[in-house]
Amino acid sequence: MLLRLIILIVFCAIMYATYHIVTRWQLSRASKLKDLDPILSGTDVSNPTVVYFTTPMCAICRTTQIPAFERLRAKLEAVNIIKVDATENPDGAKRWGVISVPTTFVLDQVGKPNKVNNGFVDENKLLAQLHTAHGLS
C-alpha cells in the first residue's frame, strides 16, 4: 500500500512539473512573436489584452469561456479579447504553441505574453492576471 502511495505521489509530481515546463515553453514561444505576429496586428496592446484560442467544436468555449469573457468585459471595459479559431488559423495556433482549447494568453502592456491558461479560466483569474500584467490597481 505504501509503495502505491509513493508511486502516486511521484507520478503527480512529474505531471505537475511537466505542466509547468509546457506553459513556460508556450510563453517563451509566444514571446518571440509579439512584434511580428499577424494575430496582434491592429490591436492596441497597451490596453489589457487576452488572446483566446478556440475551435467551433469546443463546447466548454461556448458554454463557459465566452460567458466568462462577457463578465470580464463588464468588470474591465477597456479589455481587448482577440479570438483566434485554431481550425481557421492552424499556423497561428502552432506559432503560439497551443496544444488544447480553450487556451488564453494574457499580454502585458508591450504585447508580451505574461500568463497562459490551458483550459477554462474564469473572469476573476483573468482579471487578476491582467492587473498583474498591466500594473493596474
- How many residues make up the chain in this entry? 137
Q: Which domain holds residue 125?
A: 2-134
**Stretch 53-69: mean pLDDT:** 97
CB atoms within 10 A of CB 122: 14
Write down the pTM of the prediction. Answer: 0.83
For residue range 83-112, list pLDDT tens digits in order: 999 999 999 999 999 999 999 999 998 888
2: Cα within 13 Å, side-chain hemisphere: 0
Number of domains in the chain: 1
Here the CATH number for the domain that contains residue 126 is: 3.40.30.10
